[in-house]
Amino acid sequence: MSDSPSGSTSDTASDSSPDASPLARAARVNFERTADRLELPKGIRTLLSRSREEHEVSLPVLRANGELAVYRGFRVVHSTARGPGKGGLRYAPSVSLEEVRSLAALMSWKCAVMDLPFGGAKGGIEVNRRELDDPEARTLTRAYVHALAPLLGPDRDVPAPDMYTDEQVMAWFVDAYAATTGTLQPAVVTGKPLALGGSRGRDRATGLGAAIVLGAAMESRGVDPDGAQVAIQGFGNAGRVLALELAEQGVRVVAVSDSSGGRHDPSGLDVAALAREKAQGASLADLDGGDTLTNEELLALDVDALVPAALEGVLTPEVAEGVRAGIVLEVANGPTLPDADPVLRDADVLVIPDLLGSAGGVTVSWFEWVQNRSGDRWSLEKVKRRLESRMQAAWEAVSTRAADDSISLKEAAWSLGVERVAAAESFRGG
């Protein structure tokens, strides 16, 4: 099923694989519907329905207590048709080859929708990050880089932060890659600390990008952002930055939540105070400000925009029935199940798809890669300006496609993404 770093191309992710997870099913169903809509030729369709490479490695770590723990690591490259593989590296107990495979394909479509010169890839280690101290996490990262080094590189495959990985992990990554290859090549990963070739604004990029497309969507729906009500599920890197950015723009963030539950205040929460206290380790459910509410209640609030920014598959058809927001902004990867899409469409809810709503992060990753390769340093203003224009251009492209083909924004984003990758593949001859 999987192979060693030097192994051959995988042949496993066929159209008929039974999907173990809702995310895998969603990725497959959305791809198949898109391939039908585009009438993709059979060969290209088969090629894009599979990964180009799938790698599984065993990562031994001698822990501080003397135990030799062995972790499973994965890296999947879905496509390099438009450029090197690009996509996050997550450290989570739920990581599996199937999950990483689906997320790698989503990265291909996301990079293509944003018109970035990247393919799609994803990696992960099946580990509970909280169980490891920093020296152990560094050893684990080194083991991963050591095992996969021949497959990585600025022109081959470029990881980035994802769930439970951060700039520190990326810094260890650069160091381990330098130790393995003998040259310091910061462009081997993005999302690095500023001190080691990171880009200004990368840490906030997903939230900033989401705020830009939400602004465009509100304008298209005639919603005045000043005083508009928004509910955000997820108060991690993306959800928190989005909440702070929106609050600064005069939007009323009326509800936010984390895994403990959330806070709700129809007159608007003090999100800056919540972010400060949460940074000190508190759970939102235990903090002051507004009333408590559950994650389920948050999804059913009567607001102008609802933002699932945490988990995959939260909008099931049943939950979608209860959505009262006019706009749903997908910031998590795959938060809406395919069977929930028609429910939202029939209720005239405008869904901004994850391929666009979560693309701010990888877009600034591209800026970081460009800066590393040209030996340049951009100001925060320049990063923000370029992010704004890139997000606006992608919004325009997706909404124009939706109008031209009388399809939803989600269908339009999938059409654009798959079509662009398919075009590159067929010009190259597959």
Q: Which residues are designated catalytic?
A: 122
Segment contacting ligand GLU by CB under 6 A, of 47-55, 81-89, 224-232, 410-418 = 81-89
Site for ligand GLU contains 197 (CB under 6 A): no
C-alpha span between 331 and 361 (Å, rounded)? 10
One residue of 87, 119, 209, 236 binding ligand GLU per CB under 6 A:
87
Closer by beta carbon to ligand GLU, 100 or else 274: 100
Site for ligand GLU contains 371 (CB under 6 A): no
Residues 6+ apart with CB under 8 A from 52: 9, 10, 77, 78, 79, 80
C-alpha span between 268 and 346 (Å, rounded)? 29
Site for ligand GLU contains 139 (CB under 6 A): no
Residue 285 is which amino acid?
Answer: A
Residues listed for the chain:
430
Site for ligand GLU contains 190 (CB under 6 A): yes
Closer by beta carbon to ligand GLU, 103 or else 350: 103
Contact 79, 120 (CB under 8 A): yes
Residues 6+ apart with CB under 8 A from 313: 21, 22, 23, 26, 334, 335, 336, 337
Site for ligand GLU contains 362 (CB under 6 A): yes
For the chain, how are helix, strand and coil distributed in percent, rounded to 5?
A: 50, 15, 35
C-alpha span between 386 and 204 (Å, rounded)? 14
Site for ligand GLU contains 82 (CB under 6 A): no
Contact 254, 265 (CB under 8 A): yes
Query: Restricting to residues 329-358, which ones interact with ligand GLU according to CB under 6 A?
Result: 333, 358
Burial class of 234 by CB neighbour count within 10 A (0 to 12, 13 to 18, 19+) = buried
Residue nearest to ligand GLU according to CB distances in the complex: 88
Least distance CB 296 / ligand GLU (angstroms): 25
Site for ligand GLU contains 83 (CB under 6 A): no
Query: Rounded to the nearest 5°, which phi and psi values hold at 214?
Result: -65, -40
C-alpha span between 68 and 70 (Å, rounded)? 7
Give which of 354, 420, 363 is closest to 393, Cα–Cα.
363
Site for ligand GLU contains 116 (CB under 6 A): no
Site for ligand GLU contains 86 (CB under 6 A): yes
Least distance CB 257 / ligand GLU (angstroms): 21
Segment contacting ligand GLU by CB under 6 A, of 19-27, 215-223, 243-251, 359-367 = 359-367
Least distance CB 156 / ligand GLU (angstroms): 14
Closer by beta carbon to ligand GLU, 93 or else 250: 93
Write out the residues near ligand GLU by the rule CB under 6 A. 86-88, 160, 162, 190, 333, 358, 361-362, 365
